Structure 1
Amino acid sequence: MNNQNTCFYCEKDQRLKDLMIEVGQLDASTIYLFKEQSYKGRCVVAYNKHVNELFELDDQELELFMKDVKKAAAAVQKAFSPNKINYGAYSDKLPHLHFHIVPKYEEALSWGSTFEMNPGKVYLSDEAYTEIINAIKENL
């Protein structure tokens, strides 16, 4: 699949910067903080190579990527103590392998239901984003 010229994960262009802030590099992927923070600590783990499906990875690549997803989710759990973490891997409109790591909190948005992709309700100051990113980094 060759969609690199249209993929913002590959291009790392303004479309990506409008939605996410890079937290750091993992073994096979990059972790980003989703700017819309209705779910405090929500991140995206994007595979570093341009593929769309898990089955496109060989066993070693799959193991490394899933370890990154696990590591990111564990860091979010340690940093923010959500009641549950939801995972989403859709890529219908953006063909690049990535997982949404979505912390869910009882009595909060979408508890007991599917998380909203982009509720558009909670945006933070630069300082608040930095605090969240630092909390995640401390637990990676």
Structure 2
Amino acid sequence: MIEVVELKTSTLYLNKDQTHLGRCILAFHTHKKELFQLSNIELHSFMEELSKVAKALQEAFNPQKINYAIYGDLVSHLHFHIVPKYENGRDWGEAFVNAPIQKKFVIESEYHQLIEKIKVQLEKEEEITW
């Protein structure tokens, strides 16, 4: 993962596997395993950040749908997978494969371009500061 930006209650990362263009992970700052462990204020803030990130991904990459997933079996730190999905693309109409056999990695400069596209959209959102 590559860090995109630190938010109030979480950190946004770009997934190195770009099988689904724009795939990111939003990780909660403090160590929690489950959503129910968050206070109401933490939960509200985390969900607000998730929504803003999803909107930024929608604006940056124009997917037909965004999938969200929380696993944590192997990484027991609360985080969301935010996965843009594209019609006629990989896994369309099904749950995305978290660890596909064939992954899509891009060159370093492309990761930076993807991050910049996301940041430009996040900057349009109120209350997000770097």
TM-score (norm 2): 0.91
Structure 1 position 28 matched with structure 2 position 9: yes
Structure 1 position 131 matched with structure 2 position 105: no
Structure 1's consecutive aligned runs of 4 or more residues displaced over 2 angstroms after TM superposition are: none
Matches within 5 A, 1:100-119: 100-119=81-100
Residue 27 of structure 1 deviates from its aligned partner by 1.5
What letter corresponds to residue 54 of structure 1 in structure 2?
A: L
Q: 1:69 aligns with which of 47, 50, 54?
A: 50
Helix, strand or coil at the partner of 2:48:
helix
In structure 2, the residue matched to 1:122 is 104
Structure 1 position 60 matched with structure 2 position 26: no
CA RMSD of superposed structures (Å): 0.7
Residue 92 of structure 1 deviates from its aligned partner by 1.0
Q: 1:93 aligns with which of 63, 74, 91?
A: 74
CA distance in 2, matches of 1:71, 1:53: 21
- Deviations 1:27-74 (CA, angstroms, capped at 9, x unpaired): 100000000000000000000000010000010000011111111111
Query: Where is the helix percentage greater, Structure 1 or Structure 2?
Result: 1
CA distance in 2, matches of 1:94, 1:42: 18
CA distance in 1, matches of 2:17, 2:31: 24
Structure 2 residues not aligned, in runs of 5+: 123-130
Structure 1 residues not aligned, in runs of 5+: 1-19
Helix, strand or coil at the partner of 1:128:
helix
Q: 2:31 aligns with which of 44, 47, 50?
A: 50
- Number of aligned residue pairs: give it: 121
